[in-house]
Chain A
Amino acid sequence: MSLSDHVSTPSMVVATANVPWAAPPEIPKLPPREWVKENLFSSAFNSVLTVVTTIILLAVFRGFLSFIFNPVRQWNGTATNMQLFMTRAYPDEQYIRIWFCVAVILILTGLSMAVWQAGSTMPIAGLGRKLLATGALLAILTLLAPFSASATIQWLAAALAVAAVGEAARRFAGRGEDERTVSTLTVLVVTLAGLVTSLWVVPYGHHTYIAKRVPRVLAEPGTVALTTKLPWTIMLLIVVAAYFAGRLMRDRLPINPTRVTLLLLWLLAPPVLIYLVLRDPSFDMGHVVGTDLPIFAAYAVGGAALLSWLTRPSTGETGRIVAVLVLVVGFCTFLTPMRQVVRLDMLMLAIFALAAPTFGGGPRARKRYIFGWLGVLGVMSWLITSINTPSTVTVPGGFFIGGFSITLMVAIFTIVFSFPLGIALALARTSSMPIFRQLATGFIEVVRGVPLITILIFFSIMVPLFLPRGMHLSEVTACVIGYVLFSSAYLAENVRGGLQSITRGQHEAAEAVGMTTAQKTIFIVLPQALRVSIPPLVGHCIGVFKETSLLAIIGVFDILYIGRIVIPGQTEFMGSTRENVLFVSVIYWIFAYQMSKASQRLERRTGLGER
Chain B
Amino acid sequence: MIAAPYVFVFAVAASVALADSSNPPPGAPWTKDFGAALEAASKSGKPVFLYFTKTY
A binds B: no
Q: Which residue numbers of B lie inside 8 Å of A, CB to CB? A: none
